[in-house]
Structure 1
């Protein structure tokens, strides 16, 4: 068989869904990656389960598609799991990865975050919307609340849209978050003004989702609304929800929050993932050195 059958990939996704309790977002990513490989493989002359095709596909990703190193590694990891499953099911004799040694590109880019002045512009605009008492601005108020939550506790956009009113504890400001791999964690909205507004918003209507009426907001909907809101606030350049997560992490570190606390806040499994935010700017470095006053402390 020189071409890959759609049933093989769809059956694999079905088994993942049944056996590994993966989130819908992760399952969609698997489906997207396998569909891309299926399209590529079926247009080639090599057998779809050959090492030669895997090498050609990786070259296609890195050279023709100019895919980011992280994307290449994710797609290859998806294919490794796919072929490992096919071998276990007896559908192929051996995985094409068994005889391959791949040297995949690595990168650890610094996360894109808003500058502190731009973060101030965005939060100021959000507070102004929330203070507006005119009719017809409810949708903007919901978005303003979402922006302040994203910035204050660094949620992923996929976590934001899964929030329910029952996840919020008004007294302590606790917020139950469903993260990657359906792992739950508890974060805290410590700003009293935001806690009060969030409690009032929840009490104002009976809804199953914190953001959305009969159905939750989609992640794409949040991205689209945020992009316009940020532009109206005077921020130049595209602003995404994940940038707000990066901004929260970066500014909290600059303000002295411990890396381990930040790891728990962001829901990272490993502190090495959180450590990527420990990229201090010139101003932060200068403040730290001035505060330390090393030479003065060594003066006789």
Structure 2
């Protein structure tokens, strides 16, 4: 029986996995993804995953690859299973059998500043405009936007407090003055609608009890891009990519951008150098620095 699939009371194995993730301060989305991915392996196995053998772990990966599972999805499953085998089951021998596939990283889609403005102006309501403005103006991940609370706004220090971002890390994100004014407009509107509270979510979902979902924010971005006649493939992360690229093109130090984005590795931030076309245009080629001297004329015979 698959103990990771919740039917009725939570199984001891599932609870152990939940406890292990909570101790490491994994965010709600990461926990959902890990439960889903470990459950996927358990479903393939046909019994509790704590009984798996090294050969079965190997065969699972082969079957997933042959079934056409995309590389990013398979690598996410590998991360979940490594954590499960190492931390929850104390079976590092199984974790060692898991292989991460090499992924060719594509250059991300980036909007121009004019396109960002058109997209934000094309949103259907103030809440959506404010949420997407946070994604672009502060460079937040979509899960970080959806999980923001009203109390995370620090208007005195002009910061947004991101709690339990990727990897369970807290950090401060920038709060531009224009974004603060927009959030104040949203605060007044949300209070009138009876859905915003000082100790509640900044962007509630259908009601004040739950925050807006990442799936809903993705739909909001896609619909706004269509309304703005933007033919690029756009998602919430596009706004974060655009934020980083535009800062880089404006000459902001890459270490500062790394801190604002919450990247653990500078190489992740440095990837935006491939996208920042304005930065590339500012670089002077060595060829242009060559002083091509005119041929020296021979003195006439005298």
Is TM more than 0.5 here?
yes
- The structure-2 alpha-carbon separation of the partners of 1:13 and 1:111, relative to structure 1 and needing over 3 Å to count, comes to farther
Counterpart of 2:230 in 1: which secondary structure? Answer: coil
Aligned residue in 2 for 1:121? 115
Q: Give the direction of change, closer, same or farther, for the CA distance of 1:111–1:36 in structure 2 (3 Å limit).
A: farther
CA RMSD in angstroms comes to 3.2
Q: Could you report, residue by residue, the CA deviation over 1:112-153 in whole angstroms, capped at 9, with x for unpaired residues?
A: 22332xx42331352476xxxxxxxxx611111222221122
Pairing 1:183–2:178 present: no
**Is contact 2:152–2:161 with CA below 8 Å preserved after alignment?**
yes
Q: Is the 8 A contact 2:115 2:230 kept in 1?
A: yes
Q: Distance in 1 between matches of 2:180 and 2:286?
A: 34
1: distance between equivalents of 2:122 and 2:156? 24
Contact 1:16–1:22 (Cα < 8 Å) also in 2: no
Counterpart position of 1:236: 231
Alpha carbons 1:123, 1:148 under 8 Å: kept: no
Deviation at 1:103, TM superposition (A): 5.1
Per the alignment, residue 167 of structure 1 pairs with 152
CA distance in 1, matches of 2:79, 2:149: 33
Corresponding pairs, count: 276
The answer for the alignment partner of 2:180 in structure 1 is 195
Structure number with the higher helix fraction is: 1
Are residues 201 and 282 of structure 1, via their aligned partners in 2, closer, same or farther at CA, if it must alter by over 3 Å?
closer
3-state secondary structure, aligned to 1:22: coil
Specify which of 93, 96, 106 is matched with residue 102 of structure 2.
106
The higher radius of gyration belongs to 2
Which segments of 5 or more consecutive residues in structure 2 lack a partner in the other structure?
A: 5-10, 295-302
User: 2:144, 2:126 → 1: CA distance?
Assistant: 19
With over 3 angstroms needed to count, the CA separation of the structure-2 counterparts of 1:85 and 1:184, relative to structure 1, is: closer
Q: Using a 3 Å threshold, how does the CA distance of structure 1 residues 41 and 48 change in structure 2: closer, same or farther?
A: farther
Instruction: Check 1:169–1:11 CA distance in 2 against 1; reply closer, same or farther (3 A cut).
Output: closer
Among residues 197, 202, 209, which one is paired with 1:210 in the alignment? 202
Partner of 2:133: 148
Normalized against structure 1, the TM-score is what? 0.78
What is the CA distance between 1:19 and its match in structure 2?
2.9
The answer to whether the 8 Å contact 2:158/2:175 transfers is yes
TM-score (norm 2): 0.78
Which consecutive unaligned segments of at least 5 residues does structure 1 have? 89-93, 130-138
Secondary structure of 1:186's partner? strand
Any conservation in 1 of the 2:108–2:238 contact (CA below 8 Å)? yes
1:88-129 deviations in whole A, cap 9, x for unaligned?
A: 4xxxxx65537x66654212413522332xx42331352476
Pair 198,77 (structure 1): closer, same or farther in 2 beyond 3 Å: closer
2:274 counterpart SS class: coil
Distance 1:274 1:250 in 2: 10
Report SS of the residue matched to 1:143.
helix
The verdict on how the C-alpha distance between 1:201 and 1:58 changes in structure 2, with shifts beyond 3 A counting, is same
Q: 1:245 to 1:189 in 2, by over 3 A?
A: same
1:238/1:121 Cα in 2 relative to 1: closer, same or farther (>3 Å)? same
Partner Cα separation in structure 1 for residue 249 and residue 213 of structure 2:
32
Given the superposition, is the C-alpha separation of residues 141 and 40 from structure 1 closer, same or farther in structure 2, using an over 3 Å criterion?
same
Displacement, 1:253? Answer: 1.6
Alignment match, 1:82: 84
